């Protein structure tokens, strides 16, 4: 199978497909065909694999529009959100939304709230001596935090997480994705209506009352953004935490070093974002005729932006496949670049740091369970370990 056929197979496999190594394909593309014509699930387009070209696409939104994210693919289930907007519309929505996501703006002593949630989840398995941290912790924890800051009862966590997973499958199973979107709307619409009548201190209330230049978000815009938060926000933190734990558990010396010096959690997360970017692919559409890396791209061409490939580009990162928290130099672009830089990045990093600290505090002697099958990093559009089966001293 040639390079084009291989990358097309990756793009068609679905965002959560159990593919272990897309990086060897990306490395060959960076060497031989950095702007590659491919057929995707939705259209014909070009896959961009080198860091310099990926950064160019993300930086120049006047040439590479986000409108495709508001018309096709995941937009079919999320609705119109900030990730599908350009220009003044994007700036207006970002000005309304971003302040509501700042950790200092969220409920009360937010780090303490997140810490209590993490420890509450760990309470359920800390006495067992063994657990799969994916199913027991990383899967539930980020969404449990979101449900709390949204002001929604904690017993709704499982429903929201499964709705989020179903949203991700819209390309492979449209009926499943659309049904999930409707269920989420049916649940959230009366909640938003109640918050308009009687706002409190939760995130939905902040979105309801947010105002820029005399304009507020409509109910439909708020519900669309909440779908985005559940799918992209909680899922991103889930994948980030899982990958960071995989890196730690795979290197006992590194695990001990980070446990002994919690200041190392920040560079650990930073290197995880580069090494296994939680969101590996985003899309754009050319707003006018342009040329990228010598390839002519007519107006209206879909551009598939390989963030995961860019963050492993050997032209920018020496020995890019090696995990190294002492790595210095060029920053990654796991949270995007330019005007569409992830609005919830600080929230995701705070949640991940607090969650890892809680696991260190509660699971002494944490290590991979040698009796179980090895964990694998898997995925295409989203990457994280398939399992994290560990043993530890009973708390």
Closest CA to 275 of 249, 304, 310, 306: 310
Helix, strand, coil proportions of the chain in percent (round to 5)? 55, 10, 35
User: What are the pLDDT tens digits along the chain (395 aa)?
Assistant: 455 556 666 665 555 567 888 999 999 999 999 999 987 655 679 999 999 999 999 999 889 988 776 666 566 666 677 777 777 777 777 777 777 676 666 655 788 889 999 999 999 999 999 999 999 999 889 888 888 877 777 777 778 777 877 776 666 677 888 888 888 889 899 989 998 888 887 788 888 887 767 778 888 888 888 887 777 767 788 899 999 999 999 999 999 999 999 999 999 999 999 999 998 988 899 999 999 999 999 999 999 999 999 999 999 999 999 999 999 878 999 998 877 777 778 888 999 999 999 999 999 999 999 999 999 999 888 899 999 999 998 64
What is the 3-state secondary structure of 49-71? CCHHHHHHHHHCCCCEECHHHHC
| Confidence at residue 1, expressed as pLDDT on a 0 to 100 scale | 45
Is 137:128 a contact under the CB 8 Å cutoff? no
Separation between Cα atoms, residue 231 and residue 200, nearest integer Å: 24
| Confidence at residue 174, expressed as pLDDT on a 0 to 100 scale | 76
Separation between Cα atoms, residue 2 and residue 25, nearest integer Å: 10
Is 88:94 a contact under the CB 8 Å cutoff? no
* Helix, strand, or coil (residue 248): helix
Q: Where are the domains of the chain?
A: 3-391
Which CATH code of 3.40.50.620, 2.20.25.90, 1.10.630.10, 3.30.830.10 fits the domain covering 3-391?
Answer: 1.10.630.10
Residue count of the chain = 395
Separation between Cα atoms, residue 253 and residue 261, nearest integer Å: 12
Q: Could you tell me where the beta strands, DSSP code E, fall in 231-324?
A: 281-286, 290-292, 295-297, 302-306
Separation between Cα atoms, residue 165 and residue 172, nearest integer Å: 12
Separation between Cα atoms, residue 221 and residue 296, nearest integer Å: 36
| Confidence at residue 19, expressed as pLDDT on a 0 to 100 scale | 82
| Confidence at residue 7, expressed as pLDDT on a 0 to 100 scale | 65
């Amino acid at each position: 199978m040639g390079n084009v056929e291989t990358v097309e197979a990756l793009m068609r496999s679905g965002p959560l497909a159990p593919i272990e190594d897309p990086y060897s394909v990306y490395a060959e593309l960076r060497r031989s065909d950095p702007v590659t014509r491919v057929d995707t699930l939705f259209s014909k387009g070009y896959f961009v694999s080198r860091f310099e070209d990926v950064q160019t696409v993300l930086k120049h939104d006047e040439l590479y529009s986000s409108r495709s994210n508001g018309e096709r693919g995941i937009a079919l289930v999320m609705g119109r959100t900030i990730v599908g907007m350009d220009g003044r519309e994007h700036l207006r929505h970002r000005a309304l939304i971003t302040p509501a996501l700042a950790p200092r703006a969220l409920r009360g002593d937010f780090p303490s709230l997140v810490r209590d949630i993490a420890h509450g989840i760990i309470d359920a398995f800390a006495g067992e001596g063994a657990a799969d941290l994916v199913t027991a912790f990383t899967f539930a924890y980020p969404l449990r935090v979101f449900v709390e800051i949204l002001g929604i009862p904690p017993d709704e966590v499982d429903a929201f997480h499964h709705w989020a997973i179903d949203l991700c499958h819209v390309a492979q199973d449209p009926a499943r994705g659309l049904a999930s979107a409707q269920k989420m709307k049916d649940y959230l619409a009366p909640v938003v209506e109640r918050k308009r009548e009687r706002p409190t201190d939760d995130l939905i209330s902040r979105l309801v009352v947010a105002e820029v230049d005399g304009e507020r978000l409509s109910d439909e815009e708020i519900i669309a953004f909440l779908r985005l938060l559940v799918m992209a926000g909680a899922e991103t933190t889930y994948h980030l935490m899982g990958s960071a734990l995989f890196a730690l558990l795979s290197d006992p010396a590194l695990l001990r070093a980070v446990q002994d010096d919690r200041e190392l959690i920040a560079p650990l997360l930073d290197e995880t974002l580069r090494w296994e970017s939680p969101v590996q692919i985003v899309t754009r559409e050319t707003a006018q005729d342009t040329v990228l890396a010598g390839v002519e791209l007519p107006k209206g061409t879909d551009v598939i932006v390989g963030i995961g490939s860019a963050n492993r580009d050997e032209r920018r990162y020496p020995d890019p496949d090696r995990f190294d928290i002492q790595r210095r130099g060029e920053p990654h672009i796991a949270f995007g670049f330019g005007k569409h830089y992830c609005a919830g990045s600080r929230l995701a990093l705070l949640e991940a740091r607090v969650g890892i600290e809680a696991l260190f505090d509660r699971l002494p002697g944490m290590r991979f369970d040698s009796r179980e099958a090895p964990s694998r990093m898997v995925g295409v559009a989203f990457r994280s370990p398939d399992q994290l089966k560990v043993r530890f001293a009973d708390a």
